[in-house]
């Protein structure tokens, strides 16, 4: 009998805005942001083992097996659920590291949801999101799978319904360190909190953008080039730069012009993640 096997998407996210309100005593920053998913991402395949072993077969340069968030997520879920089952995992990786589009956090969330399904644990999203938060501040939004206005360190989530345009995402070939950006003395840390829902137009800036653009000329160049065609934004603290277009044809047209010299992709914005759409189809 072959082991139960499941392949799931692990989508990218964009931060449509990111305001930093202040630094907390624990060193983390209070922020407000809007997360939206892209119909674009990695693909993870899981096969159940009955010996309790957790094995990620795909290797990542510079990331030891047990340090990978996928493995950490699987081990935490195994420990907290008391499951005696194990898992073999393979990943088709296309999301860049340090890009600000949530690659590692998304992978961890897909692992939690995939194993909850395969190991038949019956955990609800609240419980999975709480475990996810211990792995990273961006993991809960991927676990919940709906576009959200986020507060705190990004864990207090209110579902929102922003427009779902087509995006052109440019991927400068640099990995931006989140810790480096958040510790930069020139980072704005005193944005006034937004109290209005939905977020008013004109509040779509990213407070990290000036710091990242100053430190990384490749990112600055991508912002300048995309900015000739649409409002160019930075997502998270990462290197990826994006802009929205009303149609795929328009996004493709600009992509054809810019991706001669830059790496990038076109993807549809989505308020319900493709991971959750796939899981719904399995029920």
Does the active-site annotation cover 138?
A: yes
Residue 200's Cβ-count burial label (10 Å; 0-12, 13-18, 19+) is exposed
Q: Which residues contact 31 (CB under 8 A, 6 or more apart)?
A: 18, 19, 20, 21, 150, 151, 152, 153, 154
Calculate the CA 123 to chain-centre distance: 22
CA atoms within 13 A on the CB side of 95: 27
Distance between start and end Cα atoms, the chain: 22
Does the active-site annotation cover 42?
A: no
> What is the three-class DSSP state of 31?
strand
Integer Cα distance of 213 and 39 in angstroms: 27
Catalytic residue among 50, 76, 126, 138: 138
Catalytic residue among 13, 42, 72, 233: 13
Residues involved in catalysis: 13, 138
């Amino acid at each position: 009998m072959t082991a139960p096997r499941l392949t799931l998407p692990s989508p990218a996210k964009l931060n449509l805005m990111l305001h930093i309100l202040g630094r907390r005593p624990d060193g983390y920053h209070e922020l407000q942001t809007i997360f939206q998913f892209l119909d674009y991402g990695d693909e993870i395949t899981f096969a159940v083992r009955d010996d309790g072993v957790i094995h990620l077969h795909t290797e990542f340069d510079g990331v030891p097996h047990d340090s990978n968030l996928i493995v950490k997520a699987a081990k935490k879920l195994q420990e907290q659920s008391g499951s005696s089952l194990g898992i073999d995992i393979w990943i088709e990786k296309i999301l860049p590291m340090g890009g600000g589009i949530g690659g590692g956090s998304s992978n961890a969330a897909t692992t939690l949801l995939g194993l909850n399904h395969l190991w038949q644990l019956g955990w609800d999203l609240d419980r999975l999101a709480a475990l996810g938060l211990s792995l990273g501040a961006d993991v809960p939004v991927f676990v919940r799978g709906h576009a959200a206005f986020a507060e705190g360190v990004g864990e207090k989530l209110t579902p929102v319904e922003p427009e779902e345009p087509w995006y052109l995402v440019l991927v400068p070939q640099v990995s931006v360190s989140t810790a480096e950006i958040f510790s930069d003395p020139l980072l704005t840390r005193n944005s006034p909190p937004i109290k209005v829902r939905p977020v008013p137009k004109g509040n779509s800036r990213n407070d990290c953008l000036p710091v990242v653009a100053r430190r990384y000329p490749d990112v600055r160049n991508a912002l300048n080039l995309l900015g000739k065609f649409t409002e160019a934004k930075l997502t998270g603290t990462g290197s990826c730069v994006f802009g929205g277009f009303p149609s795929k044809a328009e996004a493709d047209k600009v992509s054809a012009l810019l991706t001669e010299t830059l790496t990038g992709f076109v993807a549809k914005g989505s308020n319900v993640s493709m991971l959750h759409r796939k899981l719904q189809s399995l029920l």
